[in-house]
Amino acid sequence: MKINTFIAGAALALAFSMTACKQQNIFFEEWNTPYGTAPFSQIKEADYLPAFRAGIKEEKANVEAIIACKEAPTFENTILALEKSSPILDRVEGVFFNLSESDSTPEMQAIEEEILPELTAASNEIYMNPDLFARVKAVFDNQEGLTREQQMVVKKIYQSFERNGVGLEGEAKARFADIQTRLATLSQKFGQNLLAENNAFKEATGITVSDYYDFMGSCPDREKRKAVFEAYSSRGNHGDEHDNNAIVLEVLKLRAEMAELLGYPSFAAFQLSDKMAGSPETVDAFLQPIMDASMLKAKADMKEMAKLAGHKIEAWDYSYYAEKLRAQKFALDESQTKPYFQADSVLKGVFAAAHMIYGINIEPAPEVEVYNPAASAYKLTDTDGSLIGIFYKDYYVRPTKRGGAWMNNFREQETGVRPVIVNVCNFPAPGEDPTDAIPSLLSIDNVQTAFHEFGHALHGFLSQCNYKTVSGTSVARDFVETFSQFNENFAFVPEILAVYAKDYRTGEPIPAELVAKVRSALKFNQGFMCGELCAASILDMKWHELSASELAQFNGAEDIRAFEAKVCKEMGLIDEIIPRYRTTYFNHIIASGYSAGYYSYLWSEVLADDAWEKFVADGIFNPATAASFRQTFLERGGSEEPMTLYRSFRGADPDPAALSRARGLE
C-alpha cells in the first residue's frame, strides 16, 4: 500500500541521527524475539527517555509529511497514516507504562515525571493542529467508499481532535494545552501518593490493601477492625507529603475549566457526550434506583446481623457479621472454599473456560521473556492452530505494584499483528519456602477477579479488526466492562469448577454440596456489595457534575469531606457503608481514565447479565451461541456502535432488570 512508502519516507530524516544509537537502544528497532515480544532483559532504564524523545521526533516528522502531502485527503494517506505514525512510541509506551504500574520503582517514577509533560505537549501539537485536522475533516465529511470499520476509525479520530481543543483559538487554545499538561502531572503524582499510602497501610496494619475485605470479614477483634477500617478509609487524607486532597481539587477544577472551554456545562457532560449513556442525567436516573434497591437489601441484612452481634452494627462490623450471617444462612465461610482455589489452579480454570466456550488453546510459553520473576507467559492459539496472541499473567501483590487488578496491552491487534496482553492482580503471594509454605489461596471475590480480567483479555485477543484505533477493548468506556463481567459467570459453573477447584493438599475435587453453597451464596450481601459500588459511581458523577464556578468554592480537605457526606446522604447511603472508594484514594477517576465513568461497571453489567441469560436459556455450552457472541462482540471491537452490536447478538435491547435478577435485588 502507499502508506508504507509514505511513512518510510517521512521517517528517513531520523535515520541518520538514530543509526549510531541503534545498537544501544532496543526501542529503535523491531524485536527479533519469539512472537516479537519485548526483550525485557535487554532494556535498560537509561533507554526510556531517549526512546521516548526519538519516538516523539519520528511521530512529528510523519505528521508533518501527512500535512505536506499534495494528494487529496484519503483514508489511507491521512487517517491510516496518522494511526501508523509512531512505531517507536508504540514500542516504548507499551513497555514503560505497563511496567510503571506493576514495577513502579523510584527510578521509573522519576522517568514518568520527566516525560509526561513532553508526551502531553507532543499530543497537543498533533490534536490541536488545524492543518492536520483539515485533512481529517475532509475524510470525515466524505466517507463514500469506506467500510463500516473505516467509518468508525474516522469518527473516533475526528472526535479526538474535537475533544482535544482543535477548535479553540488564541488564549483559550493555549490554556487548554496547559491544562492537559498539568492534568497529566497531577494524575501521575496522585498515583505515586496512593502507592506510598498503600504501602504505609500495610506497614501500619500488617495487611495489604488487597486483603482488606478478607481481613474485615474474618477478624474477631472489633477494636482492630475499627483501626484497620479507619486507616484504610483515610488513605491520602493525612495532611502529609502523600496527602491527595489538594491534587484532587486541582484536578477537578482543571477538568471543569477544560470542559467549559469546549462549551460544556460540566466535565461529566463533556465525558458522557461520546459514551453510550450520553448525558449525566441518564446516568443519574440509572444509578439511583440501584442504590435504593441496594439499601433496602442492606438494611434487611443489617437487622439480622445486629441480632447475631448483640449490638449496633458499625462500618467496621459490617463485613465481619455479614460473613457470620452467610455462615448461618448457607453453612459457608471462605475457610472452606479457599483450599480449592489455589491461584495457579484458578488460572487453569480461567483457561479451561476459554477453551470450552471458544475453542481457544492456551499453553505455557517459556521461550517468551517476562518482565518480573513473578510473571508467566502463555501462547494462545485458535482451533486451526493459528496464533491468537501472547499472554502475561502477573497475579501476586508486591510493594512496587499499584493496587487493584487490570488488563492492558503491550501490543494491540491490527491487520497482520496479534496482540500481547497482560493481566495484573494483587492476590496474596505464596510463601517463599516451597517445603512448607501455603500457596496463594483465593477468596471467592479473587476468583471472580481472575475471570473478570481474562474477560478483558479475551476481548483484546479475539479481536479481528484491521485498525488498532478500534480493535479489542478500544470501545466506549461504558461498554468495555461488558465482556469482563460476562466472563465472571463461568467461574462457578460446575463443569468448569470440576477442572480447577481441587484441594491443594489432597487433590480432591470440590464437593458438589460445597459448590451448591457457593452458588447459592453468590447473591448474598449484595446490598453492601452493590451499594458501595453504586455509591462510588454516584460520588464520581456528583464531583464531575459540578461547574467550574461551583468548584471554585472548594478549598481543602474539609470541603471534600463535607461534599462526600452531603452526596452520601442525598443518595440514601446508610452510615454503616462507605463508597467503595473515597475521593482521596479513588484512583479510577483521578488517574485511571474512569472520570465521570465509574458507573460503567453497573451500566455494562446490565448488558453482561442480559447476555448471560441468553447463554443460560440456550445452554451454557451451546456452540452456536458462543460462536455468535465471539463473532458479534469479541471479534468486532469498536468497529461498530455498541448497541448495534448488542442488538445483533440479542435480537433486542438489554433488559435493565437483568442486573437486579443477577444480584438478587428484586
On whether the CB atoms of residues 630 and 358 are closer than 8 A, the answer is yes
Cα angle, residue 454 at apex, residues 462 and 160 outer, rounded to 5°: 65
Give yes or no for a contact between 37 and 410, defined as CB atoms under 8 angstroms apart: yes
Query: What is the Cα–Cα distance from 128 to 109, expressed in whole angstroms?
Result: 28
Q: Which helix (H) or strand (E) holds 393?
A: strand 387-396
Q: How far is residue 102's CA from residue 125's CA, in Å, rounded to a whole number?
A: 30
d(CA 402, CA 404): 7
509: Cβ–Cβ under 8 A, 6 or more apart, which residues? 498, 501, 502, 503
Residues 604, 480 contacting (CB under 8 angstroms): yes
Helical packing angle, 87-102 and 45-68, nearest 10°: 140
State the cell numbers at 177.
Answer: 494545552
Cα separation, 622 vs 448, whole angstroms: 22
Of 246, 245, 235, the C-alpha closest to 196 is 235
Q: Are 35 and 418 in contact (CB under 8 A)?
A: yes
Contact 28, 58 (CB under 8 A): no
Helices 526-545/245-261 angle, 10° precision: 60
- Could you count the other beta carbons within 10 Å of the beta carbon of residue 49? 16
Contacts of 203 (CB under 8 A, 6+ apart): none
Count Cα neighbours of 128 within 13 Å in the Cβ-side half-sphere: 20
302 grid coordinates: 443489617
| Number of CB atoms found within 10 A of residue 221's CB | 10
Please give the backbone phi and psi of residue 278, each rounded to the nearest 5 degrees, phi first: 90, -35
Separation of alpha carbons 262 and 255, rounded Å: 11
CA-CA-CA-CA torsion sign (160, 166, 168, 172) = positive
Catalytic residue ranges: 453
Q: Which residue has the cell 500481547?
A: 420
Nearest C-alpha neighbor of 407 from the set 418, 384, 391 = 391
d(CA 79, CA 151): 10
Contact 232, 201 (CB under 8 A): yes
d(CA 99, CA 322): 37
Can you name the residues that pair with 380 across neighbouring β-strands?
Answer: 362, 389
Cα dihedral 461, 467, 473, 477, rounded to 10, equals -170
**Residue pointed to by grid coordinates 544501544:** 24
Strand 376-381 relative to strand 361-364, pairing = antiparallel
Paired residues of 389 in beta bridges: 380
**Residue type for position 140:** F
427, 424, 363: which is closest to 396 by C-alpha?
427
> What is the residue whose three cell numbers read 484504610?
232
Alpha carbon 417 to chain centroid distance? 23
Angstrom distance (rounded) from CA 176 to CA 90: 25
